[in-house]
Amino acid sequence: MRILLVEDDKMIGESVLDLLRAEHYAVDWVRDGAMADTALCTQDYDLVLLDLGLPRRDGMDVLRTMRARRQRTPVLIATARDGVAARIEGLDAGADDYVLKPYDLDELLARIRALLRRAAGRAEPVYEHMGVSIDPATREASVNGQPVQLSAREWAVLEPLLARPGMVLSRAQLEEKLYGWKDEISSNAVEVYIHGLRRKLGSGLIRNIRGVGYMVPKDPS
Partner 1 sequence: MSRPVDGSVDGVRRYSLRARLLWFLLAAIAAAAAVQAFIAYRAARAEADAIFDYHMQQMALSLRARFPLSIVPGVADELGDAEGFDFLVQIWTLDGTRIFRTAGPQLPQRAVLGFSQERVDGHSYRTYAMQGGVVVIQIAQDMAVRRRMAGAMALRTLAPVALMAPVLMLLVWAVVGVSLAPVARAQRQLAQRQPEDLGEISEAGLPDEVRPLVHELNLLFGRVRAAFEAQQSFVADAAHELRSPLAALRLQVQGLQRAGDEATRGRMLERLVGGIDRASRLVDQLLVLARQQAGASARVVGQGPDRARGPGPWQPLALAVLVRQVVGEAAAAAQARGIDLGVVHADELEVQGDAQALAILVRNLVDNAIKYTPQGGRVDVELRRLASSPAAAAGGAARLLVQDSGPGIPATELERVRDRFYRIPGSEVEGSGLGLAIVDAIAQAHGARLVLRASSTLGGLCAQVDFPLHAGEAAGGDRSP
Work out which of 69, 103, 181, 209 binds partner 1, going by CB under 8 A. 103
CA distance 220 to 29: 39
Smallest separation, CB 56 to partner 1 (Å):
5
Report, in Å, the least distance between residue 201 CB and partner 1: 27
The amino acid that residue 207 corresponds to is: R
Phi, psi (deg, nearest 5) at residue 40? -70, -25
Looking at beta carbons only, is 86 or 167 nearer to partner 1? 86
Separation of alpha carbons 153 and 150, rounded Å: 8
- For residue 144, count CB atoms less than 10 angstroms from its CB and return exposed for 0-12, middle for 13-18, buried for 19 or more: exposed
Given 41, 80, 192, 209, the residue binding partner 1 (CB under 8 A): 80
Q: Which stretch binds partner 1 (CB under 8 A): 3-11, 124-132, 141-149, 202-210?
A: 3-11
Would you say 10 or 210 has its CB closer to partner 1? Answer: 10
Contact (CB, 8 A) for 74 and 115:
yes
The SS3 call for residue 106 is helix
**Please, which residue, 63 or 174, has the CB nearer to partner 1?**
63
Q: Is 152 in the site for partner 1 (CB under 8 A)?
A: no
Please report, for residues 91, 168, 203, the alpha-carbon distance to residue 50 in angstroms, rounded to integers and kept in the order given: 12, 28, 39
Burial track 55-91 (b if 16+ CB lie within 10 A, e otherwise): eeeebbbbbebbeeeebebbbbbbbebeeeebbebbe
The identity of residue 59, as a single letter, is: G
For residue 101, state whether it binds partner 1 (rule: CB under 8 A).
yes
Q: How many helices (H) does the chain have, and how many strands (E)?
A: 8, 11
Encoded one letter per residue, x for contact with partner 1 by CB under 8 A and - for no contact, window 38-67 reads: -----------------xx-----------
Residue 68 binds partner 1, judged by CB under 8 A? no
Binding flag, residue 110, partner 1 (CB under 8 A)? no
The yes or no reply on residue 89 touching partner 1 (CB under 8 A) is no
**What's the full length of the chain, in residues?**
221
Binding residue (CB under 8 A) for partner 1 from 1, 15, 147, 148: 15
85 binds partner 1 (CB under 8 A): no
Least distance (Å) between residue 51 CB and partner 1: 9
- Give least dist CB 151 to partner 1, A: 15
Contact set with partner 1 (CB under 8 A): 9-12, 14-16, 18-19, 22, 32, 55-56, 80-81, 101-106
